[in-house]
Amino acid sequence: MNDPDLVVLVVDDDFYVADLHRRQVDELAGFRALAPVGTAAQARRVVAETAVDLVLLDVYLPDGSGLDLLRTLDTDVFVVSAASDPATVRSALRRGALAYLIKPFSADLLAERLRAYLRFRNVLDDRGTLDQEAVERGLRILHSGDSKAGSPSRAATERSVLDVLSPDVELSAAEVAERVGVSRATAQRYLATLSAEGLARMRLHYGTTGRPEHRYSGV
């Protein structure tokens, strides 16, 4: 089962920068960027009319402050701005920004933050209830970036388990174990870790009898 891409809106009055960020978003698996907008009024209209998951929001807009707009947006927001004074950064975070990126920043940094956001969303999934551990884990993922996902030290077996997962197909631990060539218990352990880190999705499948089965897919 392939989940829809997360929808991102870039709000920046610099057309070149806005289009650059749009293209960088579109290059990442799991994301889809809308056409950028350059004013607060346009941003409000798009968010009101379209299901937007994340806004990349500049502070300096021609018709108002991005920080004032931030207060009114009922969606997740990364502030991306050349403003680097502590007061602005604190204000953005206080008003609800999930991240603050100071321009100019590299494409790698944006990609890292977006991948971390995707994992954060995977952990704080809408399809189930959360416990405190899940909330803490999601926040750690969001604020530590994507270093875990790209770590060269990731165990070879864990990488093999991750490689057999696809967003389009749900597998049981036994099916993953057979494809990787490990025991079911080993596969289950790695699958639990990957799900906890937001690198895989877990869904309970309820059959006609017995306990529900854990089914896993990629992200």
Query: Is residue 34 domain-shared with residue 86, that is, in the same domain?
Result: yes
pLDDT at 52 exceeding the cut of 60: yes
CATH number at 23 reads: 3.40.50.2300
Whether 61 and 13 have beta carbons less than 8 Å apart is answered as: yes
pLDDT tens digits, one per residue of 207-219: 666 677 788 887 7
Does a structural domain hold residue 176? Answer: yes
Domain assignment present for 200 = yes
Direct distance between the N- and C-terminal alpha carbons of the chain, in angstroms, rounded to an integer: 10
Beta strands across the sheet bearing 99-102: 31-33, 6-11, 54-57, 76-81, 99-102
Q: Range of 198's domain?
A: 151-217
37 domain residue, yes or no: yes
Sorting pLDDT into bands at 50, 70 and 90, what band is 128?
low
If you average pLDDT over residues 164-169, what whole number do you get? 79
Same domain, yes or no: 107 and 194: no
All residues at 6 or more sequence positions from 85 whose CB lies less than 8 Å from its CB, including other chains: none
Alpha carbons 48 and 137: distance in angstroms, whole number: 30
- What band does 3 get if pLDDT is binned at 50, 70 and 90? low
Structure tokens at 6: 């997360």
Q: What is the pLDDT averaged over residues 53-74?
A: 94
Q: What are the pLDDT digits (tens) for 71-102?
A: 999 999 999 999 999 999 999 999 999 999 99
What is the model's pLDDT at position 209?
62
115 shares a domain with 12: yes
